[in-house]
Structure 1
């Protein structure tokens, strides 16, 4: 069965937003270190707080959409706010000369330039909260209730579009600001603003032509709490959940709790792993004379997702024909185990580092390949499950709860990254408790955490499958 054209409207709009977001993500830590003169540890912590705030705002965005705005208005308003925030980032970056003589600092005491930067964060967080949760929840509205298997495929396509944006962004950043001149960061932020504007304009032009449900009804116009079609399905007491719906919400909450660990570890790509690659990994591509910047690995992660995801989908479809395909619940457990394997490559490479010869890029490439496999098994499946299991009248709100989980993960990931041993010989403490004497010990943490979660998840998967057997 073919996917509706509305899926590609939503995917392309989200691609522009993710392109904009990944430009910021690619340079945020380096910008704070090189332009704002924050210490690496403080920059990593603040990066986690920033991305966490963006995801926390998803909960507010889901609530406002369900109660007052509807998906379409929320997406347009959110896009406008994000563009304003990114132009404000650019203004902050343009004031580089004012900060050029400020020594490195590690506290919440900010200059005028940094206050502008913090203000832009709040604007972008609010805009993203309105935008991302609502465009994600609209994917589910395109499909009928009996098209649940097609929905997994739809969210994988949706995430491929996200990763196309993530792929392009770091290469643009490398081209624009890769010359080592901190004053060029402002142009990266301007490009990010332009792309989100393009995405919003495209959405406005195409929404009325393609955003329809399976029965020809326009979607995303009426807030879910005021949609009579949803009210009629459940009777007058629209706020009361059935027993099956309560079971579904329980499973969603369990997924949220486990996902905190997965995404806290995964967030290291833009903090500790980025710093690790910048400091210790050879920038030379094997068998060539070409050098790359550390931001390359963020783009590589997106490129590998685009390449790997179709093969994984085809393989799973083949297993489906043999009645051997793992369930969506099982895929999540396998995703955790794959992440543990991925970080084991960084542990081994850190162990072999002799202090003089840079680590061969092949280790970082192997890490990225396996990590992407974990993401393919986890990220689209998790969002698809939340969408399937959410009571229809609360879909945007529960997807907002899901993104709130990602906020906690991002903040926790920033705290995790604060234990990164940037100075050889200096012992840091993970969560202020566990001594981290070297890089290998630091990376080993990200092997142990997902491995334990994966084993526990697989042990209890049958129980969760029974709670969702009426849907999955």
Structure 2
């Protein structure tokens, strides 16, 4: 099945189909994320469960952890059995069902309401597991090995993710304000249905055979024996890079994901959100990050291009991300200091705006770069699986984020915000120290000269 070979902005049109599909899937995911903790802690008369902040954040930690862990299973299923495209469709249907289950009328009460709620969360976790890793892998499959458009493609794709997030915070938050939490969940469900419709209408034309056949089967067909070959030394070294970099990803996202938990509650309870006679909805602050992504991503992408041969390696970009995360939490430290221990004091919204701005700079130096890196380093037969492994680091981070945030009553906001800033700074420094070795293990996958290459060049120069 041949796909349309025409391009848009220098990229295959299939990229923009995947962009649109992911946009609406992320609208679904972030629409739910923006209201989940608030829904759990809202009083029953307001349509919520009336949980304590600690209980809500503990559940949030478990939920987000599983959401990012299950892509490991979804990637394995795609690589070995169903292929990426079928997994994306099945996962999207499950996510739509999840939101509509959560949007069931308030006539469902008592234990039945809790059972329905858990059923919705379960469907969301399963659906995301099948969807998340596989659509990202298909972006990489649009480009041949060595195609220097790949990093730019993931930056465009990442803008789609965050456009969906931006719309989710505003639209779902407004739906909650006008009609209640059930309307917020229904809105998120409608979003993923739009994404599924795009796939059904245009996938055959713009993706062709991409994602249809299981990667393991394609890889085996390339070998004369028709069997899976053992990993080479280069492949093993590249796998080590993915695993080591994943440890620093955990540190970054454990801090960053306070946005959906602790920072969300801090915004609602301790931030002065009044502008004139208008009170800014808490959910709207969830759109600051995607707004900054959309406005800053082209700037960052063009910066990498302008740097040319001086463009930093992925480990250095990751270190920069950790430093930006630390700066963002220094703004939150400022907010906590403004309170001075008096929880009746409302802090300025500018602290939050500054925090989200620097967190976004960090995200742009880490998240799209990481996705692109995995598609460069992973062997074909393991690509979706390793993308799932990559998201499993996010799972650990999200679980840690929820646990950290749930201790606000014990440790206090100042200690948590300050502690994250210190941990991020130290992690960034460690990564810089080991960046040279990580580049060597990549064996030129990013075009960075390895130590062996430099020694060979020096020897040649001496000989001449």
**TM-score normalized by structure 1?**
0.88
Q: Offset at 1:289?
A: 5.2
Q: Offset at 1:225?
A: 1.5
Q: How does 1:3-402 map to 2 (within 5 A)?
A: 3-34=11-42, 35-91=48-104, 94-95=105-106, 98=109, 111-147=111-147, 149-179=148-178, 184-212=180-208, 218-227=209-218, 231-232=221-222, 236-285=226-275, 290-320=278-308, 323-354=309-340, 355=342, 356-402=344-390
Report Cα offsets for 1:409-450 as digits up to 9, x if no partner. 1111111111113xxxxxx1xxxxxxx2x3211211110111
1: distance between equivalents of 2:273 and 2:278?
8
> Could you tell me whether the CA contact under 8 Å between 2:245 and 2:315 is conserved in 1?
no
1: distance between equivalents of 2:230 and 2:159?
36
2: distance between equivalents of 1:360 and 1:413?
24
Structure 2 residue aligned with 1:444:
418
> Could you tell me whether the CA contact under 8 Å between 1:284 and 1:361 is conserved in 2?
no
2: distance between equivalents of 1:306 and 1:391?
31
2: distance between equivalents of 1:76 and 1:174?
27
Report Cα offsets for 1:6-53 as digits up to 9, x if no partner. 000001000000001111000000111111121101101101111111
Structure 2 residues not aligned, in runs of 5+: 1-8, 43-47, 447-464
Report Cα offsets for 1:279-303 as digits up to 9, x if no partner. 1111035xx6543111111111111
Q: Offset at 1:235?
A: 5.5
- Distance change in 2, residues 1:96/1:330 (3 Å): farther
Q: Offset at 1:231?
A: 3.6
2: distance between equivalents of 1:299 and 1:130?
26
Look up the SS of the partner of 1:95 in the other structure: coil
Q: Offset at 1:329?
A: 2.1
Q: Offset at 1:469?
A: 2.8
1: distance between equivalents of 2:67 and 2:386?
16
Look up the SS of the partner of 2:282 in the other structure: coil
> Could you tell me whether the CA contact under 8 Å between 2:172 and 2:185 is conserved in 1?
no
Structure 2 residue aligned with 1:433:
none
Q: Number of aligned residue pairs: give it.
A: 431
Structure 1 residue aligned with 2:437:
463
Look up the SS of the partner of 2:359 in the other structure: helix
- Distance change in 2, residues 1:242/1:280 (3 Å): same
Look up the SS of the partner of 1:11 in the other structure: helix
- Distance change in 2, residues 1:239/1:209 (3 Å): same
Which structure is higher in helix share? 2
Comparing 359-368 and 347-356, the one that deviates more: 347-356
> Could you tell me whether the CA contact under 8 Å between 2:377 and 2:445 is conserved in 1?
yes
> Could you tell me whether the CA contact under 8 Å between 1:231 and 1:238 is conserved in 2?
no
Look up the SS of the partner of 1:300 in the other structure: helix
Comparing 22-31 and 187-196, the one that deviates more: 187-196
Q: Offset at 1:360?
A: 1.2
Look up the SS of the partner of 1:470 in the other structure: coil
2: distance between equivalents of 1:410 and 1:95?
30
1: distance between equivalents of 2:437 and 2:350?
40
Partner of residue 406 from structure 1, selected from 384, 388, 394? 394
1: distance between equivalents of 2:427 and 2:39?
34
